Amino acid sequence: MKKLLSVVLMAALLVMALAGCSASGSNEADFKVGFIFLHDENSTYDKNFMDAATAATEKLGLTKDQVMFKTNIPESNECYEAAAELVDAGCDLIFADSFGHESFMLQAAQEFPEVQFCHATGTQAHTAGVANFHNAFASIYEGRYLAGIAAGMKLNDMIANGQITEDQAKMGYVGAYPYAEVKSGYTSFYLGAKSVCPTVTMDVKFTNSWFDIAKEKEAAISLINDGCVLISQHADSEGAPKACEENNVPNVAYNISTISIAPNTALISSAISWQPYFEMIVKNAKEGTEIPTDYCATAAEGAVILTELNAAVAAEGTQEAIDAAEAKLASGELKVFDTATFTVGGQTLTSYMADVDSDEAYTPDTEVVADGYFHESEYRSAPYFDIDIDGITLK
Amino acid sequence: MAKTNSMHHEPLIRISKRDGMVWWKGWLVRAAAIVLALLVCAVLIVFITGVNPLEFYASMIRGSFGSARKLWLTLQNTAILLCIALAVTPAFKMKFWNTGAEGQVLIGALASAACMIWWGNRLPGWLLLPMMAVVCMAAGIVWSVIPAYCRAKWGTNETLFTLMMNYVAMQLVSYCITYWENPAGSNSVGVINPNTFGGWMPSLFGQKYLLNILIVAALTLLVYVYLARSKQGYEIAVVGESQNTARYIGIDVKRVIVRTMVFTGAICGIAGMLLVAGTDHTISINTVDGRGFTAIMVSWLAKFNPIVMALTSFLIVFLERGAGEIATAFRLNESVADILTGIILFFIIGSEFFVSYQINFRRAHKEAGIKHD
């Protein structure tokens, strides 16, 4: 009987050993890219990255074996281990998509200097001095500004129809955290709306979560009950658009078009397209040319896009107004954070020291107001506009 | 007539308890269950995805054994899960339903992060690490003893109480993160002391997880001896079997409950320290990542035997890592892997039934037939 037992055990061991070896030998000298995602395609945030990664690598002719995806990687040591495993698998370039991945990517970059590491939304690359570690973001504030114009036009339309008075032109905004990325986003959205509807005001509510369908929906409903006649959001679920559809309140979304889930209220969405950036880093890593340390992709190169305008909801002439502003932004004639267009505590902003080089004490270190505008994303790709301007109320 | 008939009528299937099976036969049944589960999974994979099932299993195994790094990581994850399972075991053996290991570990993790942030760059490692261990254990004990004391004193429901303490721990961590976050508003603490390594547990022989693994190995032996050989371990077993018996033979049940939960809290605190100082070097509300609950399954699957728990926690980690590898290798959503893990666990739990019970089918119809005639 003991014999039978040992035979069974031996067989089990052999099978495991064989299966373990069979494929680890496939080590071609090919170029490989690895992507690390916080969630999987069920999150609109990650789906946006995943679609761009697929499109960019396909366009550059990489086969499926040359592109590795690691999904559902939390912002912990697991991110470092995932990066290290990708290095083991032969990746020459590794990208991670979530803010909290940064420290762990940096750790991996220091350990594997021959591999290029790129990280979206991070802040440390420009001060870390690690040659193979890179940050990237996009000038999404331009997209939000343009989406804000669509919102302002809609408000004007509502005023002209007699639905609301000029003083009732109040928008609501559901934000994730009171973090510069969110603050910069809603301020640019507000300024876009204000550029066409001067009396507009805005209430902001934070959910303290990047993804919480129930909380986002709840926040949107409470804003609507407080008299907000148009809602926008910076959080990753469909909670707010759904609340708007149920209450028949126009909504401006982020990352994806929401026309399919809110056909009667979805106005337009702004989104970052990561495809141009991915194409650039893959090409550079493949050819061995340098990847920019801290790159801010712009609307002009197609990294900031607006999804289809919903003609059923939008006011007449919206597309023309957006196109005109877009051209002016591209030419530099129009600046989103033009200090002539907003006040802080009743005063025009003439100087602001921002915490561009992140440190534990949040020391402001860089003057970012010059030539009549706030220089967002110029000294570092991740946004640093974190000022509370007049007209916006934090709830 | 009818009465005698029904008395003689034997059900088609009758289930009876086995008198105990030779140990290796039991394991053969379990192995057969796993093989069967893998076959069912293979059929499912071919139907859903069209992927070659052999390659599928090869990458599942590669998830844990594909490289030295993966093997170390598997051992490390097994050690952490096992550590939490060791913590919950004495309480479950006592039939004290502690569903709060998640929070007890998290509060230990929070204590560890606090020590690293406050003293990481001020105190030398030889002083800080033992001190941190004490602080983490104390934090875990506070979180476990509050519900234990209330249960012993006022008979509160420990399942609900310990469960709710998890959420308090999470809120406390969220609150602390707003003080420690960098940059402001980002809700992320980032790696603590990335340049000075203050408060990080050291690497042994170049292996950063070896110390974690050794500590958990030592704890495994400790808990084994405590439960199987010590007087306190015996008291736990008696209280678990019957509180009345325990009282009758003079065991102070309330004392045993509180004392056992102190033990649980202390080990949970250690697990929290291994997670923060030994692994992640950061803190978030997801640091424990559900392992406080998975550990309960580990403990029950192993019937509270700490040595067997090493195997069951390895099995769970093996399945998890395999699932991740499959998602990467075949670009499948991890949900497919979750389905497979579910099927495999279902068969394993099912196999326990066949180890403990046997099924008797109705004997041949001959005798019954003759009687009827």
Inter-chain touch B289–A69, beta carbons under 8 Å? no
Rounded to the nearest angstrom, the minimum Cα separation between A69 and chain B is: 5
B307: confidence class by pLDDT, cuts 50, 70, 90: very high
Inter-chain touch A64–B331, beta carbons under 8 Å? yes
Domains A30-139+275-297 and A140-271+308-333+384-394 belong to one CATH topology: yes
pLDDT attached to residue B370: 47
Q: Whole-angstrom Cα distance, residue A363 to residue A358? A: 8
Q: Is B333 on the interface with A (CB under 8 A)?
A: yes
Rounded to the nearest angstrom, the minimum Cα separation between B182 and chain A is: 6
pLDDT attached to residue A18: 46
Closest CB to B67 among A24, A103, A177: A24
Nearest residue on chain A to B279, alpha-carbon basis: A77
Which range scores top for mean pLDDT: B56-60, B142-146, B301-305? B142-146
Q: How many Cβ atoms sit within 10 Å of the Cβ of residue B30?
A: 17
B2: confidence class by pLDDT, cuts 50, 70, 90: very low
Establish whether the linkage from the previous residue to B183 is cis, with ω within 30° of 0.
Answer: yes
Nearest residue on chain A to B329, alpha-carbon basis: A68
Q: Does position B336 have pLDDT exceeding 90, yes or no?
A: no
Contact residues on chain B for A386, CB-CB shorter than 8 A: 184-185
Residue B198, token pair as written in the block: 């203050």
pLDDT attached to residue A12: 54
Q: Whole-angstrom Cα distance, residue A207 to residue A217? A: 10
What is the mean pLDDT for each group of 10 consecutive residues in chain A (395 residues)?
54 50 44 90 84 90 88 89 92 92 91 93 86 91 94 94 92 90 94 94 91 90 94 86 92 89 91 91 87 87 90 90 92 91 91 80 82 89 90 91
CATH of the structural domain A30-139+275-297, one choice from 3.40.50.2300, 3.90.1150.10, 3.90.79.10, 3.40.50.300:
3.40.50.2300
Among B54, B56, B61, which would you mutate to test the A interface (most chain A Cβ atoms within 10 Å of its Cβ)?
Answer: B61
Among A18, A103, A126, which would you mutate to test the B interface (most chain B Cβ atoms within 10 Å of its Cβ)?
Answer: A103
pLDDT attached to residue B344: 85
Q: Whole-angstrom Cα distance, residue B80 to residue B200? A: 16
pLDDT attached to residue A239: 87
pLDDT attached to residue B7: 55
Residue A340, token pair as written in the block: 């002539």
B372: confidence class by pLDDT, cuts 50, 70, 90: very low
DSSP A120: E
Inter-chain touch B280–A72, beta carbons under 8 Å? no
Are the CB atoms for A49 and A281 separated by under 8 Å?
A: no
pLDDT attached to residue A194: 94
pLDDT attached to residue A222: 95
**How is chain B split into domains, by residue range?**
80-309
Contact residues on chain B for A81, CB-CB shorter than 8 A: 69, 73
pLDDT attached to residue A16: 52
pLDDT in tens, B123-148: 888 888 999 999 999 999 999 999 99
Are the CB atoms for A115 and A359 separated by under 8 Å?
A: no
**Residue whose tokens read 């890219």:** A33
With the C-alpha atoms ordered A86, B272, B97, B29, is the resulting torsion angle positive or negative? positive
Q: Whole-angstrom Cα distance, residue B351 to residue A21? A: 30
Q: Whole-angstrom Cα distance, residue A386 to residue A379? A: 15
Q: Whole-angstrom Cα distance, residue A176 to residue A173? A: 10
- Is A140-271+308-333+384-394 a CATH 3.90.700.10 domain? no
Half-sphere exposure of A129 (CA within 13 A, CB side): 0
Are the CB atoms for B58 and B51 separated by under 8 Å?
A: no
The residue-averaged pLDDT of B18-31 equals 79
pLDDT attached to residue A21: 42
Q: How many Cβ atoms sit within 10 Å of the Cβ of residue B267?
A: 30
Distances (CA, A) of B56 to B69, B117, B130, B327, B329: 21, 44, 45, 10, 9
Contact residues on chain B for A64, CB-CB shorter than 8 A: 331
Inter-chain touch A16–B61, beta carbons under 8 Å? yes
Closest CB to A84 among B69, B188, B190: B69
Which range scores top for mean pLDDT: A198-207, B52-61, B228-237, B346-355? A198-207
B110: confidence class by pLDDT, cuts 50, 70, 90: very high
Q: Does position B1 have pLDDT exceeding 50, yes or no?
A: no
Q: What angle do CA B89, B95, B101 make, to 5 degrees?
A: 45
The predicted complex's ipTM stands at 0.80
Phi-psi map region of B231: left, alpha, beta (phi>0 left; psi -120 to 50 alpha): alpha
The residue-averaged pLDDT of B37-44 equals 86
Cβ-based neighbours of A59, under 8 Å, separated by 6 or more: A275, A279
Cβ neighbourhood burial of A16 (10 Å; 0-12, 13-18, 19+): middle
Task: Write down the mean pLDDT value for chain B.
Answer: 86
Q: Whole-angstrom Cα distance, residue B367 to residue A175? A: 78
Distances (CA, A) of B172 to A283, B107, B166, B178: 46, 8, 10, 10
Inter-chain touch B185–A178, beta carbons under 8 Å? yes
Contact residues on chain A for B174, CB-CB shorter than 8 A: 208
Inter-chain touch B59–A123, beta carbons under 8 Å? no
Among B187, B209, B314, which would you mutate to test the A interface (most chain A Cβ atoms within 10 Å of its Cβ)?
Answer: B187
pLDDT attached to residue A2: 53
Among B34, B54, B60, B188, which would you mutate to test the A interface (most chain A Cβ atoms within 10 Å of its Cβ)?
Answer: B188
> Structure pTM?
0.81
Inter-chain touch A81–B331, beta carbons under 8 Å? no
pLDDT attached to residue A24: 38
User: Would you call A264 helix, strand, or coil by DSSP?
Assistant: coil
Are the CB atoms for A259 and A241 separated by under 8 Å?
A: no
The residue-averaged pLDDT of B203-211 equals 86
Closest CB to A75 among B174, B194, B284: B284
**How is chain A split into domains, by residue range?**
30-139+275-297, 140-271+308-333+384-394
Of B294, B301, B350, nearest to B317 (Cα)?
B294
Are the CB atoms for A237 and A212 separated by under 8 Å?
A: yes
Are the CB atoms for A126 and A294 separated by under 8 Å?
A: yes
Closest CB to A24 among B62, B174, B279: B62
Rounded to the nearest angstrom, the minimum Cα separation between A13 and chain B is: 12
Find the helix packing angle between B101-119 and B68-93, rounded to 10°: 120
Nearest residue on chain B to A123, alpha-carbon basis: B183
User: Would you call B248 helix, strand, or coil by DSSP?
Assistant: helix
